[in-house]
Amino acid sequence: MKGIPYTTKWLDFTDVEPEIKKFGLPPNERGALKHTVPTIYDPNTRRAITEAFKINLYLEDQYPDTFSLLPKGTRALQAAFSPTFGKLLDTMLGSVVVSIYNEASERDKPHVRTTREAWFGMKLEDIPPQGERLEETVKLWEELLSDIGNWIDAGEPGALYLGGDAPVQADVDVVSVFLFLFRTAPKDHALLKSLENVSGGRWMKYLEAFSKWTA
């Protein structure tokens, strides 16, 4: 989105920690895992940066003339949005862990099973919500979508994004959850149906607006 050239190195789950350790990065301050993606290495400055928000701040400082996802005056407000992003992600995560496990490489499968079973406190196969638990999940998901939609509508008239006329990091967070769901959820999953259908399909328009970057 900033127009900075890059290449992506995809890693098996199993390789994330040893590969990122090579950059000499200290372990994460928070979270269950010591080293995580996204992590970037910038050959211009020979610096490695980990964690999405820190990467974003680094890119803003290092490449100030590129499109900004953290415009001045929005950074604290965007940080204040992060709990909503966390809730949105947490709400859909349980529905996709089995798909992630099934698509994982054979060497990754034990890692995926062990970490997810520890996080959710249950057997992997029991994590995806069903029946009443699924209904509650869909209800919470739709409430979150409704809140975010209402906030966008309370902003500039006709604006599409939390950032107004242009997307900001908070929008990228939201759209990333949607893309994650599309990429990993079973095709007929209730959360996907709801994302496609609620609020007259506004979230499909939102995704469409991002297609120039996500293609």
Applying CB under 8 A, which residues contact its own copies? 53, 71-81, 83-84, 147-148, 150-152, 154-156, 159, 161-166, 168, 170
Shortest gap between Cβ of 162 and its own copies (angstroms)? Answer: 5
Which residue carries 């996709």 as its tokens? Answer: 96
Shortest gap between Cβ of 57 and its own copies (angstroms)? Answer: 9
Q: Strand, helix or coil at 47?
A: strand
Shortest gap between Cβ of 66 and its own copies (angstroms)? Answer: 17
Q: Which is nearer to its own copies, 108 or 171 (CB)?
A: 171
Q: How far is CA 16 from CA 83, 125, 176, in A?
A: 25, 24, 20
Q: Which is nearer to its own copies, 71 or 129 (CB)?
A: 71
Q: Which is nearer to its own copies, 53 or 63 (CB)?
A: 53
Nearest-angstrom CA–CA distance, 47 and 164: 32
Nearest-angstrom CA–CA distance, 20 and 171: 27
Burial of 58 (0-12, 13-18, 19+ CB in 10 A): middle
Residue type, 7: T
Shortest gap between Cβ of 202 and its own copies (angstroms)? Answer: 13
